[in-house]
A = this chain, B = another copy of it.
Amino acid sequence: MKMTSGVEAALHSCLIMHWREGTPVTSGRLATFFALPPAYLQKTLRALVAESIVGAARGKSGGFVLIRPSESISLMDVVSAIEGRSPLFHCAEIRLDGQSGQLGPRSGACSISHAMHRAEMSYRRALAAQSIADLAQQAGSTVRERTLSALS
């Protein structure tokens, strides 16, 4: 149970795209900025394109841009775009196999699955409660200025 490293890159990239306010950023530019493999970062960003979080423009002055207001892009959106929407704890219902599955009619979902699901919902809610805009505000204007000038 470990989160993909691409999530961190995606979030940082989204933050920068938010600051650029519509001006496209190339994956190569971001890659050198973060010292990450260019092709891999690009692949990660494409996952955001597939989820309609950012838009991709080809050509010499192309790049990636946020296509939704940053207030409406939650951390949950980015995480699920990279990691997928499958739950952390997928109950394989081992009780249904072997002898445990022959204990007669079962009373709904098992308590374990229920408890794990509840905890996971708490996690997802916490992620959904924060947006890219919130992150930008918390980061402050100083970081913003320095980042933008370094990217120019």
Asked whether B135 lies within 8 Å of A127 as measured between CB atoms, the reply is no
Q: Which of B3, B8, B103, B147 contacts A94 (CB 8 A)?
A: B8
CB neighbors of B among A103-139 (8 A): 103-104, 106-107, 110-112, 114-116, 118-120, 122-123, 125-127, 130, 134-135, 138-139
Interface check A2, CB cutoff 8 A: yes
Asked whether B150 lies within 8 Å of A103 as measured between CB atoms, the reply is yes
- Contact (A92, B5) CB under 8 Å given A139-B110, A139-B111: yes
B-chain residues with CB within 8 Å of residue A3 when the two chains form the complex: 1, 88-90
- Contact (A119, B112) CB under 8 Å given A1-B4, A8-B89, A92-B5: no
Asked whether B139 lies within 8 Å of A32 as measured between CB atoms, the reply is no
- Contact (A146, B98) CB under 8 Å given A89-B7, A138-B111: no
Residue-wise interface mask of A (78-93) relative to B, using a CB-CB cutoff of 8 A (1 in contact, 0 not): 0000010010111110
Give the one of A32, A94, A118, A138 with max B CB within 10 A.
A94
